[in-house]
Amino acid sequence: MKTALEYSKELAAGTLTSRQLVQACLDEIRAKDGEIHAFLSYDAEDALAQADASDARRAAGKALSPLDGVPVAIKDNIAVNGQPLTCASKMLEHFVSPYDATVIANLRKAGAVLLGRCNMDEFAMGSSTENSAFVKTANPWNKDCVPGGSSGGSAAAVAARMVPIALGSDTGGSIRQPASFCGVVGFKPTYGCVSRYGAVAFASSLEQVGPLGTTVADVAMLYDAIASEDVHDSTALPGAREKAFPQLENFKPCRIGLPKEFFGGDAKIDAAVRAVAEWYKSRGCELVEISLPSVDLAIPAYYIIATAEASSNLARFDGIRYTHRSADATDAVNIYSKSRGEAFGEEVKRRILLGTYVLSAGFYDAYYKRAQKIRALIRNEFEAAFKEVDLILTPTTPETAFPKGGKISDPLKMYLGDICTVPANLAGLPAISFPCGTNDEGMPMGVQILGKALKDADVLAAAHAYEQSHPFETPGI
């Protein structure tokens, strides 16, 4: 399978039809997904109908955008009218979305073909896609390993070359960490650049919808299609967004910060990231050793803020309206307690309980309020750092993909795997993960670039520059 950009050019040239492309993706899904389990559902008839509509537009000379006719897989927490919206949870097992998320409406305006619902950790709570209520996704590089999470299905679908591009969501690294584990590119935009309307809320002040693909160009093209203001989302920034794809070739030598707090994990990953830094230096960039001392507090602050917001957001799933309802419930209290007890998984329950605790009287100041102060401190440290440097370079993760079951019984150990990705969410900054080689076991490693708020195009251009000199092949299984 080729890149989305290559397919876009073939569609424009008339050497390929969208129906042919979508049918090829469907064939790949049928051939491979029995082992990978990247998808929870897909509607082949609907996808082909979308492809036929795209082909008709092109025949009439009315293609909507470069993405017209290109298939995009969708994480199963993003609403698509008439399609399942389960969040990989039994709570929403039979729910069908009655409307489109804004990012989906934007993709429809661009003519993209919406192809399939990707597996994820339940309600986006997890780092391995093992918390899905329905199936565990495998890493295409080694099917005994996890693909990362929570957007593990989206990353695996792209890495296995079942689709060229996909949408995920990133609350604490849920796009970038699986991108690193699966050897693909994943981008978390600046908070507010992409509407969250229609993305089922987990932690509203942290999460952003974003793209995954095999190349930075594909990711930039998809980002440009979904980024927009939105009257339905008060956190979506007003005004036009800076287009990233036309600026991919505009990378210029700059000052790149290497924060010491992000290194010291896997020695092989650290060495690979340092080698990436040296490549930028060879292209005229200045490397600056910097310090972000408060990021050591990022994990505890994040897991207080995120769980508090989860406790509030998930209160709407009450067993009364559109969710699972316990057959054993006898009154209103029973409906609420039994339905939630039956339908939520262990990790979701754990985070709701923790979030409720830190918001409760007597603990609010000690935990939630203090975590918000730490968040402000981290944001201020990033602002100070970006007065000295233009970009910040770090490992994406402190390790490569781990074996299935390796951490599922130890939540704290799982949470610590987010140490490199969580700070960008707390500060609302754009961040990208892209491959920087494989380790001795042949598993991919990821490098992360963070940029100033609203400088998404600069982050994508920097990653693109490296990628052009270091092409990386995904396995396709």
Which residue among the candidates 54, 89, 151, 174 is catalytic per the annotation? Answer: 174
Which residue among the candidates 32, 75, 338, 452 is catalytic per the annotation? Answer: 75
Distance between CA atoms of residues 177 and 146, nearest Å: 11
Q: What is the pLDDT of residues 119-145, one digit of tens each?
A: 999 999 999 999 999 999 999 999 999
Q: What is the pLDDT of residues 291-318, one digit of tens each?
A: 999 999 999 999 999 999 999 999 999 9
Q: Are 140 and 156 in contact (CB under 8 A)?
A: yes
What Rg, from alpha-carbon coordinates, does the chain have? 21
Please tell me the predicted confidence (pLDDT) of residue 329: 82
H or E stretch including 444? Answer: strand 444-451
Q: Are 170 and 425 in contact (CB under 8 A)?
A: yes
Tell me: pLDDT of 397 over 80.
Answer: yes
Q: What is the CATH number of domain 4-251+398-469?
A: 3.90.1300.10
List the beta bridge partners of residue 170: 208
Q: What is the pLDDT of residues 48-85, one digit of tens each?
A: 999 999 999 999 999 999 999 999 999 999 999 999 99
Residue 433: cis peptide before it, omega within 30 degrees of 0:
no
Handedness of CA 261, 267, 272, 275 (dihedral sign): positive
Determine what percent of the chain is predicted with pLDDT higher than 70. 99
Decide if 150 is catalytic.
Answer: yes
Q: What is the pLDDT of residues 398-433, one digit of tens each?
A: 999 999 999 998 999 999 999 999 999 999 999 999
Under the phi-then-psi rule, with left for phi > 0, alpha for psi from -120 to 50, and beta for the rest, what region is 404? beta
Q: What is the pLDDT of residues 70-125, one digit of tens each?
A: 999 999 999 999 999 999 999 999 999 999 999 999 999 999 999 999 999 999 99
Distance between CA atoms of residues 388 and 143, nearest Å: 43
Decide if 18 is catalytic.
Answer: no
Sheet arrangement for strand 39-41: 39-41, 113-118, 71-75, 165-170, 208-213, 185-188, 431-438, 444-451, 391-395, 255-259, 286-290
Which residue among the candidates 8, 18, 89, 150 is catalytic per the annotation? Answer: 150
pTM attached to this predicted model: 0.97
Decide if 136 is catalytic.
Answer: no
Please tell me the predicted confidence (pLDDT) of residue 477: 66
Please tell me the predicted confidence (pLDDT) of residue 468: 97
Name the one residue in this structure whose structure tokens are 């508090």: 308
CA atoms within 13 Å, Cβ hemisphere of 191? 18
- 35 — pLDDT class (breaks 50, 70, 90): very high
Distance between CA atoms of residues 157 and 154, nearest Å: 5
